[in-house]
Structure 1
Amino acid sequence: MTNLNAVDPAAAAQDAHLEGADVVIGKSTIIFRRFMRNKTAVAGLAIFLALTLFSFVGGYFTPWDKETIDPFNIGMPPSAEHYLGTSQAGIDLYAMTVEGTRISILIGLVVGLVSVLIAAVYGCTMAYFGGKVDKLMLFVLEALIMMPALLVVAVATSGGGAGLKQDLPSWLLLIIVLLVFSWMGTARLIRSLSMSLMQRDFVKAAQYMGVPPRRIIWRHLVPNIGSLLVLDITRGVTAAILAEVAFSFIGIGIKLPDVSLGVLIGGATSQVQTFPWMFWVPLTVMFLLTGSLAMMNDGLRDAFDPSSSSSGKARKKRARNNGTDQSLVQKKAS
């Protein structure tokens, strides 16, 4: 007679394995784990955080600042008193590098974050309302794209904007100008993606239920393009830092007495043979900044991609565990 209460060892082992495999893990946890498994991306994050920390606390490790002149050490190479040497005016390069790194990171973070936020709201609004609203907003977008950013920066930070320039520091003026011209491309991409989301059932259901447009945009459209926004933030920070360096290098960006990496690089270019430390120190910091952001961007792209190779170790480990469990089941069954 067959015992109905008997338990098959093979079936029990298989059920236990399935129960362990069905543990639900949040999407943010999965993305974080994939990112942390990418050693290159983690190294980029560590470099960026180290430079950010250096820009905020590095000034406490030297008695000099970016305005104090040392008349006894003019154009001197790195020494125990001046860690990175002095400029041809006798100003400590270490203090100027700390200040310049902080200004460049500040410009990059503000422009990168705010421009993506503006692009998300603008693009999602265009896609949600459509029709005449979309056409009008698209016209404004195309008009801004056609404006010469280089000319506007030159006017805003030079004699043409003298009244405004006297009231605001040059780095804040540059942030405002970069914000005006840095969000249009992302907004067009977000508009096309949001238009496809507008055809999804959850958006239509929210509309039929009378959910306000602002809530639909913030709760349904923006979160569903979150991966694109995160990647655009890192790209936007990099682009803003490079734009600051480029504009300051040619003399239409940040102006003295404000200091940035672009100002330091541009001021030392003509004297790279005489004062090489004045050129290579800020250039190295710029490369570390942009390189670390590029490494982080690659890691984030792999982390958001379900088919990414960054989860290869976990897949191999799971496959190995599955093979071990199957062999145990077969042994118990036999």
Structure 2
Amino acid sequence: MTATDATPVAERTPGRGRLVLRRFLRRGSALTGLVVVVLLYAMAFSYPLFSPWDHAVPDYLAFLAPPGGSHWFGTTKIGEDVFAQVMRGMQKSLTIGLLVGLLSTSLAAVVGAAAGYFGGWVDRVLMWLVDLLLVLPSFLVVAVASPAFRGESWLVFVLLLAGFSWMITARIVRGMTLTLREREYVKAARFMGQGPFRVIAKHILPNMASLLIIDATLTVGAAVLAETGLSFFGFGVRPPDVSLGTLIASGTESAMTYPWLFYFPAGFLVVFVLAVNLVGDGLRDALDPAAAGRERAKKAEKGERA
């Protein structure tokens, strides 16, 4: 075969990235989830362009007004526009979820890969730290620590959430690293004089990218729920700022009498978490088609037994 004959074949062979994208686009639910997430982010940050109200500016002529007119989602008991507050709350909650997902997954990748690659006392120290954090009740620790940072930036809250979200993933990354460090291409890289951190960054972490991407996606939804729960109990975002958690907490007592105060922020929270989980499922199937095939086979087997 000549070089001219081999060129079209190489051009027709799609790369891994293109294959993953093609598999992801075939999942209608995952694509729908991605579109919903993008739309929610776009709405949350662009609402001042089309909303006549600010989240902190009350309308003194409309107290507890139902949805309609210029107040699309109604108003609160002091005349604040619920639509503007929900959009502002989504800004905070979605940003917190995204940052926690990125920080948590990055920390898990670094700690797990370092423990598995270096072994010895590095492995023992890092895994002791992981075990210690796993036995601590993270919700209570964050709840107790949050008042100490009252008035500080909400980024401190992000660090607290991320600090208790990475341990299980780090253990998984360590186990995969113990296997990958014995592969021929890793040994060849070490033989060629590449440093340990370069080997980890270039040859080990890229081979577990599917795990890390899926973990980051799912951690975003979990972080939003954690922020909502902590804010519900008064440990998260502080007034006068708002998040979905604070809006749900303030609207709970009026869920039956003035339902728009509760159901609009709660509904957007449910939609966002569901959309993120759909994206995570789609990425899992796109990056690991064998796992998706096994899952479908199990479902088919259960259907036959039923």
Q: Is the pair's TM-score, using the shorter chain for normalization, greater than 0.5?
A: yes
Percent of aligned pairs with the same residue? 39
Give the stretch that moved more between structures: 205-214 or 95-104: 205-214
Q: Distance in 2 between the 1:22 and 1:175 partners?
A: 45
Note the residue ranges of structure 2 that are not aligned, 5 or more in a row.
Answer: 297-306
Give the corresponding residue for 1:197: 180
Q: Does 1:124 align with 2:113?
A: yes
Give the corresponding residue for 2:264: 281
Give me the TM-score of the superposition, normalised by structure 1.
Answer: 0.82
Q: Does 1:135 align with 2:118?
A: no
Give the corresponding residue for 1:157: 146
1:123 Cα deviation (Å)?
A: 0.5
For residues 208-236 of structure 1, give each alpha carbon's deviation from its aligned partner in whole angstroms, at most 9, with x where no partner exists. Answer: 22210110010011000000011001111
Query: What is the aligned counterpart of 1:96 among 62, 85, 90?
Result: 85
For residues 21-51 of structure 1, give each alpha carbon's deviation from its aligned partner in whole angstroms, at most 9, with x where no partner exists. Answer: 9932100000001101111111111101000
CA contact (8 A) 2:52 2:70 kept: no
Note the residue ranges of structure 1 that are not aligned, 5 or more in a row.
Answer: 1-15, 313-334
Which amino acid letter does the alignment assign opposite residue 108 of structure 2?
Answer: A
Query: What is the aligned counterpart of 1:26 among 5, 12, 15?
Result: 15
Q: Distance in 2 between the 1:150 and 1:133 partners?
A: 28
Query: What is the aligned counterpart of 1:85 among 74, 95, 111?
Result: 74
Query: What is the aligned counterpart of 2:59 among 54, 64, 70?
Result: 70
Q: Does 1:146 align with 2:131?
A: no
Give the corresponding residue for 2:241: 258
1:72 Cα deviation (Å)?
A: 0.9
Give the corresponding residue for 1:52: 41
Q: Distance in 1 between the 2:236 and 2:142 partners?
A: 7
Q: Distance in 2 between the 1:187 and 1:224 partners?
A: 15
Q: Distance in 2 between the 1:150 and 1:298 partners?
A: 26
CA contact (8 A) 2:210 2:288 kept: no
> What's the secondary structure of 2:12's corresponding residue?
coil
Which amino acid letter does the alignment assign opposite residue 29 of structure 1?
Answer: R
Give the corresponding residue for 2:155: 172
Give me the TM-score of the superposition, normalised by structure 2.
Answer: 0.90
> What's the secondary structure of 2:278's corresponding residue?
helix
Q: Does 1:241 align with 2:224?
A: yes
CA contact (8 A) 2:92 2:243 kept: yes
CA contact (8 A) 2:113 2:174 kept: yes
Query: What is the aligned counterpart of 1:223 among 206, 214, 218?
Result: 206
Cα 1:225–1:252 change in 2 (3 A) is: same
Q: Distance in 1 between the 2:82 and 2:181 partners?
A: 54
Q: Distance in 2 between the 1:58 and 1:107 partners?
A: 19
Which amino acid letter does the alignment assign opposite residue 113 of structure 1?
Answer: L
